[in-house]
Structure 1
Amino acid sequence: MTSKILGGETDRVDGPAKVTGRAQYASDHNMPGMAYGYVVLSTIGRGRIREMDTEAALRAPGVAAVYTPFSTFKLYAPLPGYPENFSPLQDRTVRYRGQIIALVMAESFEQARDAAALVVTHYDSEDPNVSLAAGSPGISAPGRPGAPPARSTLLAPGVKSLDEALAASKVTVEATFPQAAQHHVAMEPHATVAVWRDGHLTAYTGSQFPARHAVSLATQLGVAAERVRVICPYVGGGFGSRVICWSEAPLAAAAALELERPVKLVLTREQVFTVVGHRGALTQTVRLGALADGTLNAVSHESDAAMPVVGGWPSRPADDISAVLYKTPNLAIDQRVVPLDISPTWAMRAPNEAPGAFAVETAMDELAVALNIDPLELRLRNYATVVPGTTHPWSSKHLRECYEVGAKRFGWSKRRARPRSRTEGQWLIGTGMATAIYPAGRGPASARIRFHDDGTVTVASATSDLGTGSTTALAVLTADALGIPVRRITPLLGDTALPPGAAAAGSSATGSTTPAIQSAAQAAIKALVDTATTHPDSPFRGKEPDEVRYRNGFLSTHSNDAISFATLLKVTQTSGVEAVGSSEARTDNGSYAYHGFGAHFCEVRVNRYTGEPRVNRFTTVVDVGQVVNAKTTRSQIIGGVIFGIGHALLETNPIEATGRLASSNLGDYLVPVNADIPDLDVHWLNHPDTIYTPQGARGVGELGTVGSAAAVGNAVYNATGIRIRELPITLDKLLD
């Protein structure tokens, strides 16, 4: 039977709390006797701290303590594989500009901030290595669990090299795509409120993965993981920046332990730019070779990515784009990293896929121009039904339908192929398109469902909601599983005291949590039936469990009238019945590939006199399996596309020779605002992926970001005839 809840237009369950200000984010928590922290950052790019003068700071009003490498508490090394391979304030080495080198504690934020300005630091400075170009080509990128080698070659029989395959191609395209650092700039700055009671730590902080956050904190503090609780029911954005635990959290916790009082540590907007990671600078070179009919004969994708000496996210853009997107008999991938003295890089919404798609999808547009083939037709001629080099089909793939539906909704057939052939007054008008693809991951998750005697149900899981709609998804999935209205469901999440939840990362939270909720619902219904058949006051006492039927909140048998679960619990004087259900990470024998897909179509206008680029229209169609909630799905697709438009036209943070990131504030680091974004036309197909999960729901959060920047860039070329390969596409690059 088709669900009447899944895919419907359900309002956000947490919406009223957010719009009325009742939702408490990390820094909204205030405790009696609380101290406030303010961090001091290094002003050199590499070297060593010779001395620090903290006397004036210690004498400043309200100051409780000043912690530096010369006078500090003990923090242990972070978990292996975490971005930073050191803990703050444990030595005098300066590894990058913007590193935390001191922590000032005071009775108010303002007092801590003012005292921090009085700390004087003397360095033995060295010239940092910060140039990606100077360090290229780099060394082979480090591996990730389950990822293919960073360097690999797939050749057709009889072909000796990728260069040979390119030489045999009728048309070739080669292009290089540099990209500077980009930043998450979530609305909520990173913050932690740390409270110790009876040897146990409670940390109120924003996290996309509360369980991992707690383990990381315990590791750096040197305490057992069960002594750390992380609470984050509301998270003001993350985009990857809150997947792991950054330095402000262990600093706040250690200071709270030292001072024996609660501590609040909130990073300023400028501090967030260096302390919590960013999408690293990246240079990619793509070479494509095609036959006369447009079918690809060879694909080469090389990249050099910034890799901080202190650790970070090793960008591997070809793994999730060139290796899986288009069919080709010859494929070569070489993904390298360049060690640099910069702040840690980290995963940012579609971390490999967004930059990788910009390079590949721009190169595909260039190939279409060289072949005089429609860009959409070129992609259809290279449509992959199995992963290149394998016999593995996708669990579900309807990308061809995304192309068809998107083209019709956008009016792609009216496109003019010749650049600068369409004008409106002083504006040049152009259109472009690109493909989106994103892996469908699935991790372990647990959920607890409890029936209450007032007719309501709670569902609890220690996942988190950073604005993606997880709170509402939990309610919708539970309502669907139990057959009762969403209004009677209370979701609980963002607390490590709850059953272990999925990470809100990699667009995998919904896909991971859905089967756990189904399992919990079945177990809770069984527990309810057990109560019905065994409790002495139950009207179903003595019945066999298989005689009692649960349906839409009611229990019945052939000989008994239906009663609600609330009535059953009241007559048996049982306040509630609950059960926990779990699901494992997806395991298979490699028979299938799992991805979400999409197609972007964009129209831009470029002022012929000033070079100003603007987006006129944008259509995106995605294939993400079963949609859980139409409202939040629409919001996620729109948000992803806006992310891509920001990358295409606005966002960049170049690094200076000193190691200073030049645009580390919201005055200089530009992100899209309402005036930059037109009405976006987004649509999704309805093809549940029941191989991925029985319910068929895949993730959607990052898919819209993949390829959307390329669609904008390709439209700019169609409008102007100018091909921009280095983001962002700013007006100075379009003045010819």
Structure 2
Amino acid sequence: MTLSPVGRDLGRVDARPKVTGRARYAADYQAQGKAYGYLVQATIGKGTVRAMDTAAVAKAPGVVAVYTPFDPLKLYAPAGGPIVENYAPLQDTRVRYRGQIIGLVVAETFEQARYAAGLVTATYDAQEPRTSLPAGSPGTTAPGGEPGGAARSTVLASGVDSIEDALRSSDVSVTTTVTQPAQSHAAMEPHAALAIWHEGHLTIHTGTQAPAIHAQSIAARIGVEPDRVRVVNPYVGGGFGSKAPTWSEPVLAAAAARDLKRPVKLVLTREQVFVLTGHRSALTQRVRLGASADGTLTVVAHESDAEDPAVSAWPMLPAQGTSTLLYKTPNLAIDQRLVELDVPPVCAMRGPGESPGAFALETAMDELAEKLGMDPLELRRKNYAVTVPGTGLRWSSKHLDECYRVGAERFGWSRRSPRPRSRREGDWLIGMGMATAIYGGGRIPAQARVGFEADGTATVGTATADLGTGARTVIAVTAADALGIPLQRVTADLGDSALPQGAMAAGSLATASSVPAVQAAARAAVTALIDQAVQNERSPFHGLDKDDVTYSDGRISGGGRSVTFRRLLQTIGLPRVQATAASSAPPPPDQYALNSFGAHFCEVKVHRLTGEPRVTRFTTVIDAGRIMSARTTRSQISGAVIFGIGHALLEANPMEESGRFAAGNFADYLVPVNADIPDLDVHYLDRPDPVVSELGARGLGELPSVGVAAAIGNAVHNATGIRVRDLPITLDKLLG
């Protein structure tokens, strides 16, 4: 019997092509006769383009074409949805934000295109842009969280006339206001597209988190039937949410390639990536907590103001996945406002609303614990929610209490001193902090295809994407387990819209959605193999009742005979037998709440003279259902914690009054490097969720980033006595 690879510490199936450089990313693809595009961007924050002078561009070396609003490519606006822009580039002269695309230059080389784009001059009728939350127009409060200026407001009150009355009647209360500037996705691979037309069909190589959806969106925006567009991206160099929507670069590349009748490659610079492909919203939050003297929460009130760009985008609702779920309380008030601004589009970014939401809530919980004279961990345990507050809805699986216990033991939380500035090592002040992590753990419908090959291997394919998360390994592990064959005999194909439609690799949905789809496809493939075994005249099982033929561990058995599927396929002369199947419907949302959970414990040291903060120890314990791959799970937890350390200490892209981001490259936009990260102690519970799927696996790529910033901020306060409420926590805020 073959040992199942599920949960084992095995190498990634795509490790060798990645470390040897054989894995090709979007910009690595080549095509004969290709030209290169380079974007021209607006230099005002709002207004209209009055005229554009391209005479010098046309004379520049190698220039093939110049497209502007005055000589455009024909494109169509997105059909709608909360994570896409509401206009098509080059179709009008309106400037909606600084850096908006107002031109495309195509030339024989990238360098020629870039040089020529710099020769374009534009004159504008400029208006004053709204670029900060105080300068914007608050959206109206309305239930449902509809994007486009609306907000979300929820009030659950029990036994009081208002939330204000509940706060006033509480024995202890705290008010915590926190802010953070915009943050930029900083994936290793910049956004790129290579568009190739052949006989009216488009193949486009572009990094995306949802190949099938991407293909449909591109088709709609260039005005062709969906079956004429194929998106191919087997490898994606990170995304973090920024490669979930269809932005303008693949659409422009496709339209220019069609117009010029030759392939066009368009690769964005890092500054263009920061501006054109979404960012995490600047945000102001206020959390008010009320409690009785013994620490029982009586009120949780969470308000926020976030960017709502005029170009439309993903709505930032930070309380939705945090304060509405984490702690039991009889009185809950949520008011999330979206503020209309003339800024580049916002987009989901790893732990999109949950990470900033947790920073606000978990900072407030720490302040409440200090005011109560209570251990912060005990305060959380005391207010542990076994059902969703105000609904009575139970979780499909929740072991957060075990995360608290295991994490505290592994970290040594009992050694924490509650008194700030009480522990020193030379000139360094030492502190400890903790916080809770929570993120959605649901799944969506997905399809997969599994095939038996005549060489004794198996293939599995689904049109999801692997952003470096290990999805390819998880899908191969699932197929190997379902077929009972060694992992090395399974090839997983991802990142191609021509494959059966898989789950979007966003919202931590890919694993939970793909695993049951692969299992269903494996069962269908076994059925198809048995059908061939009993129906094909050349088969040793021909004529047997299919109910008397079985499959197990790579072998077909029946009628006293047993052969490998390799031998069977070679005998009957078939190169393969394959089947496609869809997963069953996910559980209805009114039956269970689907979430994953975790607990962070952090130690920091802060230099008493310079204010420099350093994370010295970090322990994270995660409850994300069944663990499919030990190595990729540890990698995802570690990567998410590192992401959270960047959120806490480094990452900021402030908006200037002109509408320009202040940080346009990796010299100015700081992300964590090796020197910033201690050895991370990551642990997972491996408790299968019986509701989410047969194997019980939930996603975990985003979960461990939630709460990291709060744990660090709480540790900094314990070390210094200084409470930093404005991210990132930089040394200037710790001086004095």
| TM-score after normalising by structure 2 | 0.98
When residues 2 and 711 of structure 1 are mapped into structure 2, their CA distance, relative to the original with a 3 A threshold, is: farther
Amino acid at match of 1:687: R
Determine if the alignment matches structure 1 residue 151 to structure 2 residue 153: yes
1:260-279 alignment, distance < 5 Å:
260-279=261-280
Q: Which runs of 5 or more residues in structure 1 are unaligned?
A: none
Partner of residue 182, structure 2:
181
Partner of residue 582, structure 2:
582
Partner of residue 669, structure 1:
669
How far did 1:664 drift?
Answer: 1.9
- With 3-12 and 499-508 compared, the bigger mean Cα shift is at 3-12
1:181-580 alignment, distance < 5 Å:
181-557=182-558, 559-580=559-580
How far did 1:145 drift?
Answer: 8.3
Task: Write the distance in 2 (CA, Å) between the matches of 1:318 and 1:214.
Answer: 33
For residues 349-374 of structure 1, the C-alpha deviation after alignment (integer angstroms, 9 at most, x for no partner) is 11110000000000000000000100
Partner of residue 75, structure 2:
75
Amino acid at match of 1:637: I
How far did 1:187 drift?
Answer: 0.4
Contact 1:139 1:338 in 2 (8 A): no
Task: Write the distance in 1 (CA, Å) between the matches of 2:32 and 2:135.
Answer: 53
For residues 397-429 of structure 1, the C-alpha deviation after alignment (integer angstroms, 9 at most, x for no partner) is 000000000000000001111000000001000
Contact 1:516 1:581 in 2 (8 A): yes
How far did 1:133 drift?
Answer: 2.2
Task: Write the distance in 2 (CA, Å) between the matches of 1:455 and 1:145.
Answer: 51
3-state SS, counterpart of residue 212 of structure 2: helix
When residues 143 and 247 of structure 1 are mapped into structure 2, their CA distance, relative to the original with a 3 A threshold, is: farther
Partner of residue 626, structure 1:
626
Contact 1:13 1:472 in 2 (8 A): yes
How far did 1:149 drift?
Answer: 7.9
How far did 1:54 drift?
Answer: 0.7
Contact 2:84 2:246 in 1 (8 A): no
How far did 1:78 drift?
Answer: 1.0
Task: Write the distance in 1 (CA, Å) between the matches of 2:534 and 2:19.
Answer: 45
3-state SS, counterpart of residue 289 of structure 1: strand
For residues 74-106 of structure 1, the C-alpha deviation after alignment (integer angstroms, 9 at most, x for no partner) is 101112124311100111111100101110000
Amino acid at match of 1:504: A
How far did 1:211 drift?
Answer: 1.1
Partner of residue 111, structure 1:
112
How far did 1:441 drift?
Answer: 2.2
Partner of residue 46, structure 1:
46
When residues 230 and 593 of structure 1 are mapped into structure 2, their CA distance, relative to the original with a 3 A threshold, is: same
Contact 1:443 1:584 in 2 (8 A): no
How far did 1:169 drift?
Answer: 0.6
Question: Hey, which bits of structure 1, 4+ residues long, moved more than 6 A?
Answer: none
Task: Write the distance in 2 (CA, Å) between the matches of 1:134 and 1:244.
Answer: 28
How far did 1:256 drift?
Answer: 0.3
3-state SS, counterpart of residue 323 of structure 1: coil
Contact 1:442 1:585 in 2 (8 A): no
Amino acid at match of 1:226: D
- With 75-84 and 99-108 compared, the bigger mean Cα shift is at 75-84
How far did 1:594 drift?
Answer: 0.5
Task: Write the distance in 2 (CA, Å) between the matches of 1:274 and 1:716.
Answer: 32
For residues 364-406 of structure 1, the C-alpha deviation after alignment (integer angstroms, 9 at most, x for no partner) is 0000000010000000000000000112110000000000000
Amino acid at match of 1:534: Q
How far did 1:141 drift?
Answer: 6.8
Task: Write the distance in 2 (CA, Å) between the matches of 1:244 and 1:312.
Answer: 10
Aligned residues: 733
Task: Write the distance in 1 (CA, Å) between the matches of 2:3 and 2:606.
Answer: 46
Amino acid at match of 1:256: A
Contact 1:142 1:314 in 2 (8 A): no
Task: Write the distance in 2 (CA, Å) between the matches of 1:501 and 1:316.
Answer: 27
Task: Write the distance in 2 (CA, Å) between the matches of 1:142 and 1:337.
Answer: 13
For residues 29-56 of structure 1, the C-alpha deviation after alignment (integer angstroms, 9 at most, x for no partner) is 1111100000011111001111111111
For residues 232-274 of structure 1, the C-alpha deviation after alignment (integer angstroms, 9 at most, x for no partner) is 1000000000001101111000100111000000000111110
Task: Write the distance in 1 (CA, Å) between the matches of 2:209 and 2:575.
Answer: 33
- With 76-85 and 662-671 compared, the bigger mean Cα shift is at 76-85
- With 539-548 and 249-258 compared, the bigger mean Cα shift is at 539-548
For residues 106-159 of structure 1, the C-alpha deviation after alignment (integer angstroms, 9 at most, x for no partner) is 00000000111111111111110112023375433784589x981011011x31
Contact 2:232 2:497 in 1 (8 A): yes
Determine if the alignment matches structure 1 residue 710 to structure 2 residue 710: yes
Amino acid at match of 1:139: T
Contact 1:430 1:716 in 2 (8 A): yes
3-state SS, counterpart of residue 562 of structure 1: strand
Task: Write the distance in 1 (CA, Å) between the matches of 2:30 and 2:565.
Answer: 39
Task: Write the distance in 2 (CA, Å) between the matches of 1:482 and 1:70.
Answer: 58
Contact 1:141 1:316 in 2 (8 A): no
Contact 2:4 2:480 in 1 (8 A): no
Contact 1:444 1:584 in 2 (8 A): yes
Contact 1:138 1:304 in 2 (8 A): no
How far did 1:589 drift?
Answer: 5.8
Contact 2:137 2:340 in 1 (8 A): no
Q: Which runs of 5 or more residues in structure 2 are unaligned?
A: none
When residues 650 and 150 of structure 1 are mapped into structure 2, their CA distance, relative to the original with a 3 A threshold, is: same
When residues 142 and 110 of structure 1 are mapped into structure 2, their CA distance, relative to the original with a 3 A threshold, is: farther
Partner of residue 57, structure 2:
57
How far did 1:584 drift?
Answer: 4.5
Task: Write the distance in 2 (CA, Å) between the matches of 1:360 and 1:137.
Answer: 22
Contact 1:141 1:314 in 2 (8 A): no
Partner of residue 660, structure 1:
660
Question: C-alpha root-mean-square deviation of aligned residues, in Å?
Answer: 1.5
How far did 1:3 drift?
Answer: 6.8
Amino acid at match of 1:442: R
Partner of residue 723, structure 1:
723
Partner of residue 5, structure 1:
5
How far did 1:546 drift?
Answer: 1.4
3-state SS, counterpart of residue 213 of structure 2: helix
Partner of residue 609, structure 1:
609
Amino acid at match of 1:275: L
Contact 1:154 1:332 in 2 (8 A): yes
Task: Write the distance in 1 (CA, Å) between the matches of 2:573 and 2:625.
Answer: 43
Amino acid at match of 2:611: G
Amino acid at match of 2:683: H
Partner of residue 170, structure 1:
171
Task: Write the distance in 2 (CA, Å) between the matches of 1:218 and 1:549.
Answer: 44
Task: Write the distance in 2 (CA, Å) between the matches of 1:423 and 1:626.
Answer: 41
How far did 1:587 drift?
Answer: 3.7
Task: Write the distance in 2 (CA, Å) between the matches of 1:23 and 1:171.
Answer: 57
Partner of residue 686, structure 1:
686
Task: Write the distance in 1 (CA, Å) between the matches of 2:52 and 2:185.
Answer: 32
Amino acid at match of 2:173: T
Partner of residue 124, structure 2:
123
When residues 344 and 149 of structure 1 are mapped into structure 2, their CA distance, relative to the original with a 3 A threshold, is: closer
Contact 2:351 2:705 in 1 (8 A): yes
| TM-score after normalising by structure 1 | 0.98
How far did 1:58 drift?
Answer: 1.0
Task: Write the distance in 1 (CA, Å) between the matches of 2:448 and 2:567.
Answer: 25
How far did 1:474 drift?
Answer: 1.1
